[in-house]
Structure 1
Amino acid sequence: MFITPHFTLAEMTASSTAALAGLDNTPPPAALANLGLLCGVLEHVRSLLQVPLTITSGFRSQALNQKVGGTPQSAHVLGLAADFTALNIPARQVAIRIRDSDIMFDQLILEFDSWVHLAVSTEQPRRQVLTIQRGGGYLPGVH
Structure 2
Amino acid sequence: MKQELLTKHFTLNELTHSSLALRRGLYNQPDVEAASNLTRLARHILEPVRAHFARPFRPSSGFRSLAVNRLLGSKDSSQHITGQAVDFELAGIPNRLLADWIKDNLVFDQLILEFYRPEEPASGWVHCSYRAGDNRQQSLIFDGTTYREF
The CA distance in 1 between the partners of 2:85 and 2:63, in whole Å, is 7
**Aligned pair partner of 2:141 in 127, 131, 134:** 131
1:116 matched to which residue of 2? Answer: 126
Structure 1 position 47, deviation (Å): 1.5
Structure 1 position 132, deviation (Å): 0.6
Structure 1 position 7, deviation (Å): 0.5
With the length of structure 2 as denominator, give the TM-score of the two structures: 0.89
Give the partner amino acid of 2:52. Answer: L
The CA distance in 2 between the partners of 1:33 and 1:122, in whole Å, is 10
The CA distance in 2 between the partners of 1:54 and 1:95, in whole Å, is 16
- Secondary structure (helix, strand or coil) at the match of 1:66 reads helix
The CA distance in 2 between the partners of 1:73 and 1:94, in whole Å, is 25
Report percent identity of matched pairs: 42
1:3 matched to which residue of 2? Answer: 6
The CA distance in 1 between the partners of 2:96 and 2:86, in whole Å, is 16
The CA distance in 2 between the partners of 1:126 and 1:81, in whole Å, is 13
5+ residue gaps, structure 2, are 117-123
Matches within 5 A, 1:58-69: 58-69=62-73
1:75 matched to which residue of 2? Answer: 79
The farther-off stretch of 12-21 and 47-56 is: 47-56
5+ residue gaps, structure 1, are none
Give the partner amino acid of 2:100. Answer: I
With the length of structure 1 as denominator, give the TM-score of the two structures: 0.93
The CA distance in 2 between the partners of 1:48 and 1:112, in whole Å, is 24
RMSD of aligned alpha carbons: 1.0
The CA distance in 2 between the partners of 1:6 and 1:37, in whole Å, is 13
Structure 1 position 48, deviation (Å): 2.2
Contact 1:83 1:118 in 2 (8 A): yes
Higher strand share: 1
- Secondary structure (helix, strand or coil) at the match of 1:123 reads coil
Structure 1 position 49, deviation (Å): 2.1
1:28 matched to which residue of 2? Answer: 31
- Secondary structure (helix, strand or coil) at the match of 1:4 reads coil
